[in-house]
Amino acid sequence: MENFAFLTQNFGRYDTASIGSYMNVGGFQALKKAVNMDGEEIAQLIARNKVKGRGGAEYDMGRKWSQARAVQGEHKVIICNADEGETTTFKDRELIKNDPFNLIEAMIIAGWAMGADKGFIYMRAEYACLRPLLLNAIRQAKNYGFLGTNILGRGFDFDIKLYSGAGAYVCGEGTALIRSIEGKAGRPRMKPPFIKVSGVFALPTCLQNVESLSLVPHLLLDEEGRYAAQGTEDSVGTKLVSVAGNVQKPGVFEIPFGTTVREIVYGLAGGLPEGQELQLIQFGGASGKAAGPDILDCPYTYEDLRSHGVMVGSGGLAVVDKRTSVLDFLRINQDFFSEESCGQCTPCREGNLHIKLILEKLSAGTATAEDVRLMKKIARVMSMSSLCGLGETAQNTLLSAMQVFPEVFEVTERQTGGVAL
């Protein structure tokens, strides 16, 4: 498969510790262009390319920028979500490692476009080794006048601060992340107020994933429309995917939307280990959905994946071969949520506990049909009534697996206490 590099076009082309080196490959040209544009024009450019947020929720990014612009406020905030806590998801790690200056430039452009003056990067503690790289990039950008006051003589002030997470998956959720930046424990809060109106320190806040932001400088400079020429009508351009699990060459790959799942798994990621057979693929990490081998010929686009019952989500693909049973896979996934639920609200705290217990019973062969019914009900209640996105999505994988692998959940009813369904 030919390699099309758009998001990754700077990878390996400059010294990531040097702003001079970055500028030699066109660094900060996009910012110079942006400050001669109206913020709404930039939002429209993003909207025309139908960019959806790359953190997992797939929210329309151009629309988000227009909305953020419309909110009034003396101070406004841009946050880059570099928490990357979703399992089998490590694309943001590669973007930061290989192109840190582009992310800084993207944040400044976002600041300009939305009229924000404060930028925060919230990066998971697991990526602490990348902190010096980002701190250095911020410092150098400041020295060159790309951060600070009156940037490029346009009367525009913007600064970036780097914050660290400390091992809580829930802190990738907007309101939790904001509390963490405020120096508190990252427990999510009820919405409204929405963070676009009242986010960090009660200021209007726009939260965007690393990959979403990283795309912007490249789009601004893409005059020939190289990006828009890739992909499909509804899934324009390219996407980073991270593939791991039972594959020979796990890694991060940039693919044009529309590449088939087979090409990703067998072409780019080297296929399954010798002699192994595919059981399932989980798309979008622990909060994503699972599909069986018939997903292989599906084009990787928002619309096609959705029609096959899965989602792009975080861009992660967990490939699982037949050495792991569907039930074991689900139990491993459940362990993740049982560990990461913050325990603040009842549906998520209790729901995760009970589903874990029922999955154990299913594994042990002691579950009843009533248990299975209850499990499904709890999963639905969790998705409808949890306080935050963690509880709402925790059972996505289970519910999808119940559709795809109904046989796993068939229970032969024992005589005593048999329940009529």
Partner 1 sequence: MLNNDSPGSPLPDGLQAKLDLVLEAHDYDATQIVGILLDAQELNELHYVPEPVSYYLAERLKMPVSGIFDCLSFYSELSDKPRAKYPLQVCSSIACRVNQSDSLASVLKELLGIDFGETTYDGRFTLEKATCFGACDRAPALRINGQVYGPLHSREEIATLLRGLD
Ligand X SMILES: Cc1cc2nc3c(=O)[nH]c(=O)nc-3n(C[C@H](O)[C@H](O)[C@H](O)COP(=O)(O)O)c2cc1C
Q: Which stretch binds ligand SF4 (CB under 6 A): 114-122, 214-222, 282-290, 386-394?
A: 386-394
CB of 346 to partner 1, least distance (A): 19
Asked if residue 280 binds partner 1 (CB under 8 A), the reply is: no
Q: Which of 170, 174, 87, 122 is nearest to 342 (CA)?
A: 170
Which position has the token pair 């476009």? Answer: 113
Contacts to ligand X from residues 200-219, by CB under 6 A = 207-209, 212
Peptide bond into 250 cis (omega under 30): no
**How many residues at the interface with ligand SF4, by CB under 6 A?**
14
CB of 381 to ligand SF4, least distance (A): 12
Contact assessment for residue 313 and residue 89, using Cβ atoms and an 8 Å cutoff: no
Asked if residue 181 binds partner 1 (CB under 8 A), the reply is: yes
Asked if residue 174 binds ligand X (CB under 6 A), the reply is: yes
Contacts to partner 1 from residues 186-205, by CB under 8 A = 186-187
Q: Which stretch binds partner 1 (CB under 8 A): 8-16, 148-156, 243-251, 413-421?
A: 243-251
Which stretches within 246-368 are classed as H helix?
Answer: 261-262, 302-307, 326-340, 346-364
Q: Which of 329, 347, 386, 400 binds partner 1 (CB under 8 A)?
A: 329
Kindly state the helix (H) or strand (E) to which residue 392 belongs, with its residue range.
helix 389-393
Asked if residue 173 binds partner 1 (CB under 8 A), the reply is: no
Rounded CA separation 340/171 (Å): 10
**How many residues at the interface with ligand X, by CB under 6 A?**
23
Q: Which of 85, 82, 55 is nearest to 181 (CA)?
A: 82
Contact assessment for residue 205 and residue 199, using Cβ atoms and an 8 Å cutoff: yes
By the 10 Å C-beta count (0-12 exposed, 13-18 middle, 19+ buried), 137 is classed as: buried
By the 10 Å C-beta count (0-12 exposed, 13-18 middle, 19+ buried), 185 is classed as: exposed
Q: Which of 11, 59, 156, 266 binds ligand X (CB under 6 A)?
A: 59
CB of 385 to ligand SF4, least distance (A): 9
Asked if residue 80 binds ligand SF4 (CB under 6 A), the reply is: no
- Residue 259 has phi, psi (to 5 degrees) of -60, 140
Residues in the chain: 421
Q: Which stretch binds ligand X (CB under 6 A): 79-87, 239-247, 342-350, 402-410?
A: 79-87
CA dihedral sign of residues 206, 207, 209, 214: positive
Rounded CA separation 401/200 (Å): 37
Asked if residue 81 binds ligand X (CB under 6 A), the reply is: yes
1 binds, among ligand X, partner 1, ligand SF4, none (CB under 5 to 8 A by kind): none
Asked if residue 51 binds ligand SF4 (CB under 6 A), the reply is: no
Which parts of this chain interact with ligand X (CB under 6 A)?
53-57, 59, 81, 83-86, 169-170, 172-174, 207-209, 212, 388-390
Footprint of partner 1 (CB under 8 A): 84-90, 93, 124-129, 163-169, 180-187, 242, 244-246, 250-252, 282, 286, 316, 318, 320-321, 323-324, 329, 332-333, 335-336, 339-340, 342
**Residues at the contact surface with ligand SF4, assessed by CB under 6 A:** 170, 188, 341-345, 348-349, 386-388, 390-391
